[in-house]
Amino acid sequence: MSFPKFSIIAPVYNEEQTLPVLYPRIKEVMEQTGEDWELVLINDGSADRSSEIMRELAAQDPRVRPVIFARNFGHQIAVTAGLDFSRGEAVVIIDADLQDPPEVILQMIEKWREGYEVVYAVRAEREGETWFKLFTASLFYRLIRKITDVNIPMDTGDFRLLDRKVVQVMNQMRERHRFLRGMSSWVGFNQIGVNYRRAARYAGETKYPLKKMLKLTWDAITGFSYFPLQLATYTGFFAAGLSIFAIPLVAYLRLTGSQFFFGQATTLIAVLFLGGVQLISLGILGEYIGRLYDQAKGRPLYITREAPDMREVNIENVP
Ligand code: UDP
Ligand code: MG
């Protein structure tokens, strides 16, 4: 069986309004490449008509391959399933809401043909987003870059092209709490960015509320660094160092009759502060242990209700 040259994968969560527009836009762009392509749509447990629309599109055009999840597993897992079912020599991850203009794919393919294995899209401008989203997004990238040890390019999302070699490595990384941008940067290879203008959502509203953003940030930090664990060590050394100086000072003051450190308030504050630091450290430890536990259970990353026939899956993808 011959596999298509390019795979486009788009995660779909309640996108009934955007799907009928996404397909023709992708088709128009991909026809310009003069190569075979496929569009893998992953329905991440949508409650609307997304599944029906996906099936209709697949019936019209066999290049559309629907993967339908049994429930909502989250955007990063949906994209992972897309990578598992993709068969192309180059794979493009794109949002289904048309915030990532499909036309940029052509620029990515050009870079891929020059020999780059990861081509990520850099958001040079964004339209139609609130200042709050822009502010939190910028904070997110800065924080991740400071704390983690992978060099994640600034202002990039999951919109990117990955060479088959990269997809194969990423498919072997079965971590449950996934941060795909970090993973695709961690693998190395030749990477380059292309600039684009991030459009406003075509229809509907964001499925990434603050809660999900925070979870992604936390997954990114815990997935790529021990820094939060080390914080306990640092504060421990700081508090111990402080007390080494404070003990002789307080003893001296007491002996010379000073009333400076008298009263319960000083003790209470110190106890509360250290109690707080200890509980936070325990909590952070708990976060890492919880992730270890999730990983140890070894459950599948996702469950599909409907997926392409296994005989039509690139067998090298299956971990
Ligand atoms: N998405 C998903 N599962 C989710 C949330 C989002 O598959 O639990 C999809 C969504 O349909 C879209 C993409 O992920 O194609 C990006 O989501 P969204 O546009 O809501 O995020 P934003 O662009 O606002 O950050
Ligand atoms: Mg969006």
Instruction: Determine the distance separating the centroid of ligand 2 and the alpha carbon of 306, expressed in angstroms.
Output: 25
pLDDT of residue 202: 84
- Is residue 312 within 8 A of residue 67, CB to CB? The reply is no
For residue 94, give the ligand nearest its CA: 1
Instruction: Determine the distance separating the centroid of ligand 1 and the alpha carbon of 12, expressed in angstroms.
Output: 7
For 64-108, what is each residue's pLDDT tens digit? Answer: 999 999 999 999 999 999 999 999 999 999 999 999 999 999 999
78 lines ligand 1 (CB under 6 A): yes
Query: Which residue among 95, 100, 158, 178 has the greatest number of ligand 1 atoms within 8 angstroms of its CB, and so is best to mutate?
Result: 95
pLDDT of residue 76: 96
Question: Is 28 buried (19+), middle (13-18) or exposed (0-12) by CB count in 10 A?
Answer: exposed
- Is residue 79 within 8 A of residue 42, CB to CB? The reply is yes
- Is residue 177 within 8 A of residue 294, CB to CB? The reply is yes
Write phi, then psi, for 121 (nearest 5 degrees): -95, 130
Which residues, by Cβ under 5 Å, contact ligand 2, an ion? Answer: 95, 97, 99
CA-wise closest residue to 229 among 296, 152, 147, 174: 147
Instruction: Determine the distance separating the centroid of ligand 1 and the alpha carbon of 127, expressed in angstroms.
Output: 16
Structure-token pair, residue 63: 């290049």
Residues in contact with 162: Cβ distance below 8 Å, sequence separation at least 6, in sequence order: 83, 90, 91, 92, 93, 117, 118, 170, 184
206 lines ligand 1 (CB under 6 A): yes
> Alpha-carbon Rg of the chain, whole angstroms?
25
The rounded distance, in Å, linking the Cα atoms of 198 and 99 is 6
Domain 6-225+300-317 -> CATH class: alpha beta
Structure-token pair, residue 270: 């110190």
- Is residue 253 within 8 A of residue 259, CB to CB? The reply is no
Mean pLDDT of each 10-residue bin along the chain, 319 residues long: 90 94 95 94 95 94 95 96 94 94 95 95 80 81 82 86 95 92 91 89 82 88 90 88 85 82 76 87 93 93 86 62
